[in-house]
Amino acid sequence: MTARIFIDGEAGTTGLGIRDRLANKAGIELRSLNGADRKSVAAKTALLREVDLVILCLPDDAAKETAALAGSIENGPRVLDASTAHRTAPGWIYGFPEMGPHQADAIKAARFVSNPGCYATGAIALLHPLTGAGLLASDAPVAINAISGYSGGGKAMIAEHEAGEAPAFKLYALGLGHKHVPEIMAYGGLTRRPIFVPSVGDFAQGMLVSIPLFLDDLVGKPTLADLRQLLVAHYGTGGYVRVAASEEAEIEPESLNGGNSLELHVFGSDETRQAVLVAKLDNLGKGASGAAVQNLELMLGL
């Protein structure tokens, strides 16, 4: 049976990425609105009645409107929202299948699924196992640093970098109010707001999210090997999320580009009792379009 999919906001970076990933996938029929119909509530409602699933690649307010419209239709389509609008909203399932042992099943059964943020995916992948196992207290002071390729910044930032008019590197969101913080807290198991400092580099794709830790401040005073073993036990082997088997003295952000993998690293020194946990991912893959397609496949049983 063919699944009918509508990508609302298909002209944006995430929407285009999803279209590309679905282009040659069997069992998928992509449906669209053209021209003036894109702003017509009647036309959108009619299309929502015809499709099995709608993916929202829209600004938050527009995503809320379309989600409400889809929800008002009896036996209407399932909804996968790639915006920030519903990531901590009641009634929505968080679309990070590897987060816990029952998360994939929850996504399969859900009508409303929120696709995670790119930075949040890396941070939660590192934090959730630690807080869940009780090694990291939920109210512990946590600092998160991250760097992303410029493709995650939207059309204006992409154009600036491609024209050679952007700086090689910059920190941003220095008011510490980045929109990914609420979901990091909610699914990372934190009750105390972390300090999150994101940055952008002059490269198109790729991302590193790093969390420094004092080992003696963690419950049980674990070693680096203990942390690595905990992550391996949580995520297993052979899936999209994997733990690096060995570490070198440096790491770059681009080697996973084009895929849907998330790689976790444990750096540091048992001698100084310090660690740096690092998540590497493609900000347009597991951080956006790749994650959306993974969730879509779960939701539709593909």
By annotation, the residues acting in catalysis are 118
Phi, psi of 87 (to 5 degrees): -70, -25
Residue recorded with tokens 């069992």: 27
**Beta-carbon contacts of residue 9 (< 8 Å; ≥ 6 apart):** 15, 56, 57, 58, 62
**Beta-carbon contacts of residue 13 (< 8 Å; ≥ 6 apart):** 151, 152, 154, 155, 158, 284, 288
Distance CA 113, CA 95 (A): 6
Residue type, 249: A
Least Cα distance to 298 among 65, 47, 94 occurs for 94
Distance CA 93, CA 33 (A): 27
